[in-house]
Chains A and B, each alone.
Chain A
Amino acid sequence: MQKTILIGGEAGLGTAVTSHFVGKIFTSLGYYVFNYRDYPSLIRGGHNFNILKISDKPVYSHEYKYDFILALDQKTVDIHKKDLKQSGLVFKAKETEPKILANNILIGLLFKYFGVDLNILFAAAEKTFGKNADLVKKSIQEGYQLDSEKEKLKKLKPKCFISGTEAIGIGAIAAGMDIYLAYPMTPASPVLHFLAKRQLENNILVFQPENEIAVINAALGASFAGAKAMVGTSGGGFALMTEGLSLAAMTELPLVIYLGQRPAPATGLATHTGQGDLKFALNAGHGEFLRVVLSPGDAQEAVIRTQEAFYLSNKYRIPVILLSDKHLAESNYTFDEIAKSSLPIDRFIVENPQEDYRPYALTPNGISPRAVPGQGNFVVRANSYEHNEYGYTIEDSAGAVKMQDKRFKKLPYLKKEIDKLNPISVYGKGSNLLISHGSTKGAILDALPQIKNFRFMQISYLKPFPAEKVAKEIKKSMPTGRQAKKVVLVENSVTGSLADVIKEETGITIKNKILKYDGRPFTPDDIINQL
């Protein structure tokens, strides 16, 4: 079974809520759903749509060929009818119906088509809409009576339905985060909202300071005081944070930075997707310092990688950037179960530091035991100037070298640790290779069975870069003798910057690139057609 449903309407009509509700019913019936969301940067009017791909097998991407169009307005029909399959159906809300209820009438119609029991719909409505469920139920029932059953949907084992945003949120909670600070910026703001709403039940604190500069400096103040802190933003806000990123590195205060990318320079395409900030994430900040850059490919991975981000940041006292984009953040994925990482929740704060505590003590692995103010009768100092072991400012050449070396001493230990965290994943079999990172994973995984002789390497750790593993995998697909093999990069960007990173880290040149930079994510067809 595989069906694709487009739900569209102008902003304010509830396209996103309706799509999520429909998706949730299908996942509760045991089907895999991928829910893609497309909307312009406006609050009322315009045209929003979601595409739900539903299948009895795992699905990680959308397509632009529909079995159903649920049109909340005429514009939806006008725009999307050309992509309706031959046997496809359009369910359109009547103009006379109160707009809010029209969605539910269409939901009733749709599920009647699939012969889904009305009680299942009612239960879902109660779960989602709580006190307001009665009206919703009434209009679902109204829609339900309008048509007859055409196909009988088998009930399978219920699944979990989760977005990248939610995954990052629960990953942070599972990692023991105490404080989340962010200034609103799409596509990172949904994490702010998700965590803010759940702050009391999870005993965390969520606050929106006056700007991104305040966000990162306050987060470092909190980290200094002993809290596990995370900040969230998109490219523009991250640009404002870069001085603070460098401060995090210099003070060796743990900090996780969630960077949700959107395309193009400056304000760019505010509500769309892109991967153009890879090199920015890798290189942002003045001075030379260690960082981790992680790029999860789907919601399940986002949970695990977020936990890893906290673990590594706190253990190594370095900034960790969790790279995402609008496509990962705002799409819903379906999994049989949602797993968490088995890494411990550890604050990496020493229990009983000695009187002569040195916040920047020189140690064989470069990691100084971390204490926090108030713990005991010793002084804890964080300094943005170059400093000695006690945190006092220094300028002497020998001291400067010692400290620069100390901070970089962590690198081999960090690399070893990352080696154990699956920094790359290889899917499928074939002598040719597709390479990518981040949210392109979904479309590639769905394309893979349809393209001959290709495997797919997903790189999840972009810094420190798993150069050996990557090189080994690429070399298997390098043309040898008469055998022409292909290595192809897939990236949602203009330049395909991962190729440059691979070149810098491994010396290998990747010539073939499939790129897309219209602000829209790849579909499997985009990849298949270009190959």
Chain B
Amino acid sequence: MTPQDFTTKEINTWCPGCPNFGILNSIKEALAELVNEGKISVKDTSLVAGIGCHGKIFDYVNLNGFNGLHGRVLPVCLGIKLGNPDLTVVGFGGDGDTFDEGVSHFVHACRYNADMTMMVHTNQVFALTTGQATALTEKGFVDGSTPLGQGEKPINSLLMALDLGATFVARGYALQGPHLKELMKKAITHKGFAFLDILQPCIVYHKHSVPYLTKNVYKLEETHDAGNFSQALERVREWDYSYEKDTKVPIGVFYQTERATFESQWPQLKQPWHTIDRKTNWDNIIREFK
């Protein structure tokens, strides 16, 4: 299997040079390698996408997929796991999608710990609707809907994920493809809910993040202990998604742990439901009403 096998014939409508292309390349490489390593099977893998520029990735990856509603990637992912626990499920959301419209689902996804992956294309704007501020946009940002400047501090999504019990918390940078690919592979093979924040500067509506991130992004050192929760907390706090002053922006796996998955609480959730041939034992069903 090669990354090209995941290519579709659809015309790509992202802006030329958009870092989303980097994410697309990395996911195709990650999927191809995971298939070749026997870690996933193509037919048993499904992606789920939200609505926004990020969501177009649905059309560009030749794989089972569900392009749902804005903000609802996570419940669809969860539903797919409930519908067929054997499927590998990978969600792609925008930061607006995940932390504005659908933030309640993110809160619960971290708690549930279903065995699935959520990748968020963090560009700190609603790009597809022409650049309004999201919950991750820095204070002071000016756009069409907030001409007086964004008034609030952004959410630190990694901190939130850690606090809510996500069992895999990582951040990648769309412009560092090989590193991102490795993170994707780790996230997808993690057993439990994996949250991968991907910095994906929008080069139209959030231009200033490209030079900033290129200057400040660095990889967590080998010595970082991803099993240490308080170390992880400390490291995700290093950058608060703002641009006021130069602050180092760590990327890599901040935290990884094991916890019983959501699916494991259901003894009856063992095989894809569609493989079960159901018969009705009517007399049994109505006995209690006699």
**Which A residues form the contact surface with B (CB < 8 A)?**
158, 160-162, 166, 170, 173-174, 176, 178-179, 181, 199-200, 203-205, 207, 209-211, 213-215, 217-229, 243-244, 247, 251, 338, 340, 345, 347, 349, 372-385, 391-393
B290: nearest chain-A partner, CB-CB: A160
Point out which of A161, A176, A225, A340 has the most chain B C-beta atoms below 10 A from its C-beta: A225
B242 CB, min distance to chain A CBs, angstroms: 30
Number of B interface residues in the complex (CB < 8 A)? 54
B72 at the interface (CB under 8 A from A): yes
Q: Are B79 and A222 in contact (CB under 8 A)?
A: yes
Digitize B81-107: 1 where CB-to-A-CB distance is under 8 Å, 0 elsewhere: 111101100000000000000001101
Please tell me if B268 contacts chain A, counting CB pairs below 8 Å.
yes
A213 touches B268 (CB 8 A): no
Q: Are A200 and B69 in contact, CB atoms less than 8 angstroms apart?
A: no
Could you tell me the distance in whole angstroms from the C-beta of A71 to the nearest C-beta in chain B?
Answer: 28
Q: Per a CB cutoff under 8 Å, which of B51, B87, B282, B289 touches A225?
A: B87
**Can you give 8 A-B contacts (C-beta < 8 A)?**
A178-B273, A200-B268, A214-B104, A214-B108, A222-B80, A225-B83, A243-B69, A385-B67
Q: Which of B22-30, B40-48, B146-154 contacts A (4 or more CB under 8 A)?
A: B40-48
User: Is A179 touching B43 in the complex (CB atoms < 8 A)?
Assistant: no
Closest to A210 in B: B108
Cβ of B68 under 8 Å from chain A? yes
A373 CA to B10 CA, complexed, in Å: 21
* CB-CB nearest in chain A for B267: A200
With A213-B105, A217-B72, A383-B67 already in contact, 18 other A-B pairs whose C-beta atoms are closer than 8 Å? A214-B74, A218-B82, A221-B75, A222-B79, A222-B83, A225-B79, A225-B83, A225-B84, A373-B43, A373-B64, A374-B43, A374-B84, A374-B87, A375-B43, A375-B274, A376-B43, A393-B10, A393-B67
Contact between B69 and A217 (Cβ–Cβ < 8 Å)?
yes
Contacts of B286 in A (CB 8 A): 160, 170, 338
Contacts of A391 in B (CB 8 A): 65
| B residues less than 8 Å from A199 (CB atoms) | 268
The reply to whether A340 and B69 form a contact with Cβ atoms under 8 Å apart is: no
- Residues of chain B touching chain A, judged by Cβ–Cβ distance below 8 Å, are 8, 10, 42-46, 48, 51, 56, 58-59, 62-69, 72, 74-84, 86-87, 104-105, 107-108, 266-269, 272-274, 276, 278-280, 282, 285-286, 289-290
Contact A227 B82 (CB under 8 A): yes
**Is A170 within 8 A of B285, CB to CB?**
yes
- Residues of A within 8 Å of B58, CB to CB, are 381, 383, 393
Most buried by A among B8, B282, B290: B290
Q: Is the CB–CB distance between B289 and A384 below 8 Å? A: no
Is the pair A227, B67 in contact by a Cβ cutoff of 8 Å? no
Contact A203 B107, beta carbon cutoff 8 Å:
no
Q: In the complex, how many angstroms separate the beta carbon of A372 from the nearest chain B beta carbon?
A: 5
Please, which residues of chain B bring their CB within 8 A of the CB of A204?
Answer: 268
Interface-centre pick from A166, A181, A220, A251 (highest chain B CB count, 10 A): A220
Closest to A201 in B: B284
Residues of chain B within 8 A (CB-CB) of A349 are 274
* Interface contact B289-A218, CB-CB below 8 Å: no
Task: Select one of A174, A222, A228, A376 contacting B82, CB under 8 A.
Answer: A222
B268 lies within 8 A of A224 (CB): no
Q: How far is the CA of A211 from the CA of B69 in the complex (A)?
A: 15
Complex Cα spacing A214 to B286, Å: 32
Residue of B nearest to A390 (CB): B8
- Given A179-B273, A376-B43, are A210 and B107 also a contact pair (CB < 8 Å)? yes
Find chain A residues with CB under 8 A from B266 CB. Answer: 205
From known contacts A214-B108, A340-B282, infer whether A379 and B82 are also in contact, taking CB-CB under 8 Å: no
**Shortest distance in angstroms between A310's beta carbon and chain B's nearest beta carbon?**
11
The distance in angstroms between the C-alpha atoms of A225 and B81, with both chains bound, is: 8
Nearest residue in A to B262 (C-beta to C-beta)?
A: A207
Asked whether, in the complex, the Cβ of A214 is within 8 Å of the Cβ of B268, the reply is no
Q: In the bound complex, how far is the Cα of B86 from the Cα of A178, in angstroms? A: 16
Pairwise interchain contact B280-A340, C-beta atoms closer than 8 A: yes
Q: Could you say which residues of chain A place their CB within 8 Å of the CB of B289?
A: 160-162, 166, 338
Write the chain A residue with the least CB distance to B64: A373
For A166, A214, A228, A345, the residue with the greatest tally of chain B CB atoms inside 10 Å of its CB is A214
Check B79 against A219 for contact (C-beta < 8 Å).
yes
Residues in chain B near residue A179, CB distance under 8 A: 82-83, 273
Question: For the complex, what is the distance from the CA of A424 to the CA of B276, rounded to whole Å?
Answer: 34
Find out whether the CB atom of A225 lies under 8 angstroms from the CB atom of B75: no
Q: Do B76 and A218 touch (CB < 8 A)?
A: yes
Known contacts A160-B289, A345-B280; A205 and B82 CB within 8 A of each other: yes
- State the Cβ distance, B85 to closest chain A Cβ, in Å: 9
Query: A71 vs B105: C-alpha distance in the bound complex, in angstroms?
Result: 47
Contact of B86 among A158, A374, A380 (CB under 8 A): A374
Q: Which of these, B69, B87, B108, B276, contacts A373 with CB under 8 Å?
A: B87
B274 near A221: Cβ-Cβ < 8 Å: no
With A and B bound together, what is the CA distance between A30 and B100 in angstroms?
Answer: 59
Query: In the bound complex, how far is the Cα of B44 from the Cα of A226, in angstroms?
Result: 12
- Knowing A220-B68, A247-B69, A381-B64, say if A373 contacts B84 (CB, 8 Å): yes
Decide: A213 and B108 in contact? CB cutoff 8 A: no
On chain B, the residues within 8 Å of A227 by CB distance are: 82-84, 273-274
User: CB distance B8 to A392 under 8 Å?
Assistant: yes
Q: Which residues of A contact B65 (CB under 8 A)?
A: 379, 381-382, 391
Interface residue from B66, B77, B82, B285 paired with A381 (Cβ < 8 Å) = B66
Question: Which of A162, A178, A377, A385 has the largest number of chain B CB atoms within 10 A?
Answer: A178
A378–B65 CA distance with the chains assembled, in angstroms: 11
Query: Which A residues lie within 8 Å of B278 (CB)?
Result: 176, 345
